[in-house]
Amino acid sequence: MKPALRAKLEALGRRLEEVSAALAAEGAAREIESYRRLVREHAELARIAELYDRYRQAERDAAAAREMAAEAALKSFAEEELKVAAERMQQLEAELQTALLPRDPNDERNLFLEIRAGTGGEESALFAADLFRMYARYAERHGWQVELVSESPSDLGGYKEVVARISGPGAYARLKFESGGHRVQRVPQTEAQGRIHTSACTVAVLPEADAAEEVVLNPAELRIDTYRASGAGGQHVNKTESAIRVTHLPTGIVVECQDSRSQHKNRERALAVLAARLKDRRERQQREKTASTRRSLIGSGDRSERIRTYNFPQGRVTDHRIGLTLYKLDRVMDGELDEIVDALAARHQAEQLAQLEAAA
């Protein structure tokens, strides 16, 4: 094990002792948010400490085996024990390196999913609806909840824009690589000649912001308008001004919410979406300022990037960031996204490991 890695593990061990003491202190749970952060940190550090303890035990086993090898009668047995210990150390070191990778603090958050039709007119709107169903079914497979925040239907039953909140354990961690341009190649319903057209949609996955801690919304910077909801929703929705439009004046960001009959609930949801968009905007600006020349293997997640193509005539889906092609488009569109998500996460982890090794 490299000295730098060992030094980091020793420092984390000392930090674990500090966190344990803080959790055991009288009144530790008075500040609930601080207490929760300490609990999460303790759980993470304890997992790393347990791996490091097993690594050091393997080191001791290897040292004992080398001592036994000095005796001729035990040499064969000692060599086998040394081999086993060395393999265990190698495996545990790899696990420790993975455990030490910087974690995305947003991974356990809920998220807002925004899908917008792009080039392709009505066909693009229909594809936006297909994408929304795909993500909704994926969420259902994972036991997550999907709440529609706002929608702008097209004439043929698609979406010009649709925004939904997805909540559940690890939702953002699994879907965060979906932001970008999604391209579809197929014969549109509106095509009389049977020709294949190419259309596109953009997808944005935004971690839900903790308004109390991360994004402060200044009421003086907000313009809040009410209006009558359009589209489906029943007579009550159409007769009352329950829909909400929030404009963030400094940035020009506009959020609408009309899903609930309650003006208060629509206002709360609209402000939550605004906070998430402002958080995403701030983090993207920070990434742009600190971006290194070494580009991430999975792309920056910029919404203008074409990240994936769905080719219906050939029944294939291709993720261009990692060169992955699957010939099971129907199953992917039915929400079977884990194979793609796992491959993206693995490539991201490989990039992080390469950076960690270069810095060691």
pLDDT in tens, 67-115: 888 887 788 888 889 999 999 999 998 888 878 877 787 888 899 999 9
pLDDT of residue 134: 97
Per CATH, the number for 111-210+303-351 is: 3.30.70.1660
Residue pointed to by tokens 């055991």: 24
- SS3 state of residue 229: coil
Fold: same for 3-99 and 111-210+303-351: no
Return the sign of the alpha-carbon dihedral for residues 338, 274, 123, 243: positive
pLDDT of residue 276: 87
| Res 234 pLDDT > 60 | no
Q: Which CATH class is domain 3-99?
A: mainly alpha
Q: Hey, what are 52's tokens? A: 């490091």
Say how many Å lie between the first and final Cα of the chain, rounded. Answer: 11
How far is Cα 24 from Cα 8, in angstroms, rounded to an integer?
Answer: 24
- Average pLDDT (134-143) is 96
- Average pLDDT (182-189) is 90
Query: Higher pLDDT residue, 225 or 191?
Result: 225
| Res 238 pLDDT > 70 | no
- In b/e form, how buried is each residue of 329-359, taking b as 16+ CB within 10 angstroms? beebbebbbeebbebbeebbeebbeeebeee
> What is the residue-averaged pLDDT of the chain?
85
pLDDT of residue 299: 44
- Average pLDDT (346-359) is 78
Compute CA distances 347 → 34, 108, 243, 297, whole Å. Answer: 33, 20, 42, 7
Per CATH, the number for 219-287 is: 3.30.160.20
Contact 87, 117 (CB under 8 A): no
Domain ranges of the chain: 3-99, 111-210+303-351, 219-287
pLDDT of residue 329: 97
How far is Cα 71 from Cα 93, in angstroms, rounded to an integer?
Answer: 29
Summarised one tens digit per residue, pLDDT across range 288-312 is: 664 443 344 344 444 446 899 999 9
Query: Higher pLDDT residue, 229 or 336?
Result: 336
